[in-house]
Structure 1
Amino acid sequence: MRLVLALSLLLAMPAMAHEHGAHAEKAPAIAPVQTTADGAVYGATLPANLPAVVALDTVIAEPQALLGKDGAFSGRITEVCQQMGCWMVLATEKGDFVRVTMRDHAFGVPKDASGEAVVYGTLNEKVLSAEEIEHLSKEGAKVPAQRELRIDATSVLIHTAT
């Protein structure tokens, strides 16, 4: 029985590493990799064959059709991780939201980022544990929901304020 418990814990540890271990490492790069007429791009440059941008209202209304797929998604930045800029929240006018995590903590966005953004990445659904909710709260998140949509981003375009 002890062996089964020990193996279970050993196998569960990597799953928790993203949520907690990455912050113990060095901070991700926050400098833009590209500047366009539309704004600054963080992470990887946007794909040359960027698919049609899907508005967050559509993502919220029809998530099942988009789950597990790479795409370009647009919304308004309402929150950013205040420790490392490693996640942000895109929201609709109604207050519905999707959390954006920067793939593998490889990059970040400015902690004061705001306004409209286009994110390229994979849409997923995540069930948060009580520990993950507490962790996000410590990073400045407003009370996170237990189940949320997430975009695992490789590129983030933050539009220049007009």
Structure 2
Amino acid sequence: MKKTFIYTLMIVLAGFSCQQKATEVSAPATEEAKSETAAGKFGADINDSGVVTLAELVTELESKDEFQGKVVGQIKEVCSKKGCWMTIDLPNGQSMRVTFKDYGFFVPLNSSGYPVVIEGVATKKVTDVETLRHYAQDAGKPKEEIEKITESKQEYAFEAVGVIIRENA
């Protein structure tokens, strides 16, 4: 009787260990399926009502230190390591770096070129050389290009609480 109990227990435990391995194997496939399209909502649950254009954002930041609200644009570049930042080209020829509140969420690595709505706070700030080089490295820039960064830069920054990436139109 004891042998039967022990054999049964071993079979049950073996079954559980096989189930766990099956879950581990299928998890990457699920993540891969999610990464096929970049569209979706990330961070806080926001909507696209009350958005302003990038031109309106730039005009607002010319007269104020800060803009709070929603902006519509197109993703130019995304951090190639984690999706922990993105850039959006502005109508004044500059680009705006978008980071995510408290490093709390990321966007898909393949979201470059997608239309986007972001909600949060925009400011103008000076970014130091070390940070600019870090961003260039994250973007996968060649070493020679990174070493050419020798001066701080005044740029637009946006800290997003939520992001909507729309289907690539």
Partner of 2:40: 40
Give the structure-1-normalised TM-score: 0.66
Partner of 1:7: none
Q: Deviations over 1:78-99 (max 9, x none)?
A: 0001111111011246643211
AA partner of residue 129 (structure 1): D
For the aligned residue pairs, the C-alpha RMSD in angstroms reads 2.6
Unaligned regions of 5+ residues in structure 2, if any?
Answer: 1-30, 32-38
How far 1:66 moved relative to its partner? 5.6
Partner of 2:162: 155
How many residues are paired up?
123
Evaluate the alpha carbon distance shift between residue 54 and residue 66 of structure 1 in structure 2; reply closer, same or farther with a 3 A threshold. farther
Partner of 1:139: 138
Give the structure-2-normalised TM-score: 0.63
CA distance in 2 between partners of 1:71 and 1:99 (Å): 16
Higher share of residues assigned helix: 2
AA partner of residue 40 (structure 1): G
- Which SS does the other structure have where 1:135 is aligned? helix
Aligned match for 1:52, one of 30, 50, 53: 50
**Which is greater in Rg?**
2
AA partner of residue 74 (structure 2): R
Q: Deviations over 1:102-145 (max 9, x none)?
A: 11111000011032100000111221111111111101177787
AA partner of residue 136 (structure 1): Y
Unaligned regions of 5+ residues in structure 1, if any?
Answer: 1-29, 31-38
1:1-162 superposed matches below 5 A: 39-46=39-46, 52-65=50-63, 67-92=65-90, 95-113=93-111, 114-140=113-139, 146-162=153-169
Identity among equivalent positions (%) equals: 28
AA partner of residue 75 (structure 2): I
